[in-house]
Amino acid sequence: MPKGVVEIIFNFSEGTFVHAKMGDTQYQLGRCFINGYNRSPIQMQLPRQRCFFGVELQPIAVKRLLKIPAVEFADLPADLALIDPSFNQLWHRLAAAGFNERVSIISNWAEKFSIEHDPRELMLNDFLHSSAMLSINVPELAKTLCWSPRHMSRKILEITGMNTEETLLYKKYLHAVALMHHSGLSLTQIAYDSHFTDQSHFIKIFRSFAQMTPGHYRRNKGFIQGHIFHS
């Protein structure tokens, strides 16, 4: 399901590929791939015996780390080894390490980029990943970030692949998904708490991102937020 994060996945499942489908497009993903800031679900066929190591990236950091803006990976699970061959070397280092050492290797890899962000970019990043200000509109958000609405729209598009209005709805959708996993609220209460106009608006927007109704997702959700597992 769309989760509002950018993930790098290292596949240590020996001799297997991950077969994925988004819309009508089929993908065969190797041992290191990136899953972008998605607006629709990705269907994956996972091997029975599998071992993955994943890293969640702040969307604004993607451009600094990979020299490519996050929007290039929106709605696209891409093979990172084809983008940057150095990920093959990183995969081999991680494959030979235990979990704690893998965390250390990845941390050291990221630190060498000396990432420094504009304070307003950090504010935007925090806004996208918090459950606060769900009722804010475009002019109010631009004023909060001290950007013109046009400049803010360019920044948001570079991160999410969506315009500002779509991104604000996406943020409400993510909040609703979180409440389904971490609260006992009814769907009506979740729609209200997520600041949707009404129940029909909630269902319409949720279906546009998840390709299913909120009720269907709640009945079939997996133990990991944003995932549905089919045996």
Within 10 A of 52 (CB to CB), how many other CB atoms are there? 12
What is the rounded distance in angstroms from the CA atom of residue 207 to the CA atom of residue 193? 18
CATH architecture of 119-220: Orthogonal Bundle (1.10)
Whether pLDDT at 14 is above 80: no
What integer pLDDT is reported at residue 114 of this predicted model? 64
Contact indicator for 78, 28 with CB cutoff of 8 Å: no
DSSP state of 30: -
What integer pLDDT is reported at residue 218 of this predicted model? 93
Residue 201, helix vs strand vs coil: helix
Q: Which of 36-45, 103-112, 198-207 has the highest mean pLDDT?
A: 198-207
Residue ranges, CATH 1.10.10.60, the chain: 119-220
Q: pLDDT: is 136 or 50 the higher one?
A: 136
What integer pLDDT is reported at residue 115 of this predicted model? 65
**Percent of the chain at pLDDT exceeding 90:** 41
Q: pLDDT: is 110 or 218 the higher one?
A: 218
Give the residue-averaged pLDDT of 27-33. Answer: 86
> Residue 120 corresponds to which tokens in the numbers above?
């307003």
Upper half-sphere CA count for residue 151 (Cβ side, 13 Å): 9
Widest CA span of the chain, in angstroms?
52
* Among 59, 68, 32, 74, residue whose Cα is nearest residue 121: 59
What is the rounded distance in angstroms from the CA atom of residue 4 to the CA atom of residue 35? 11
Within 10 A of 197 (CB to CB), how many other CB atoms are there? 10
Q: How confident is the prediction for the chain on average, in pLDDT?
A: 88
> Residue 130 corresponds to which tokens in the numbers above?
């918090």
Tens digits of per-residue pLDDT, 146-194? Answer: 999 999 999 899 888 899 999 999 999 999 999 999 998 999 999 999 9
Q: Which of 19-28, 66-75, 120-129, 174-183 has the highest mean pLDDT?
A: 174-183
* Among 62, 8, 10, 51, residue whose Cα is nearest residue 31: 10
> Residue 1 corresponds to which tokens in the numbers above?
């399901």
Alpha helices (runs of H) in 71-163, residue ranges in sequence order? 80-83, 86-95, 99-111, 119-128, 138-145, 149-160
* Among 179, 175, 157, residue whose Cα is nearest residue 166: 157
Upper half-sphere CA count for residue 98 (Cβ side, 13 Å): 1
What integer pLDDT is reported at residue 169 of this predicted model? 95
Instruction: For residue 45, name the pLDDT band (cuts at 50, 70, 90).
Output: confident
Give the residue-averaged pLDDT of 6-30. Answer: 85
**Which residues are within 8 A (CB) of 37 and not within 5 positions of it... i.e. 6 or more apart?**
4, 5, 6, 59, 70, 71, 73, 74, 159, 160, 161
Tens digits of per-residue pLDDT, 110-158? Answer: 887 766 777 888 888 888 888 888 889 999 999 998 999 999 999 899 8
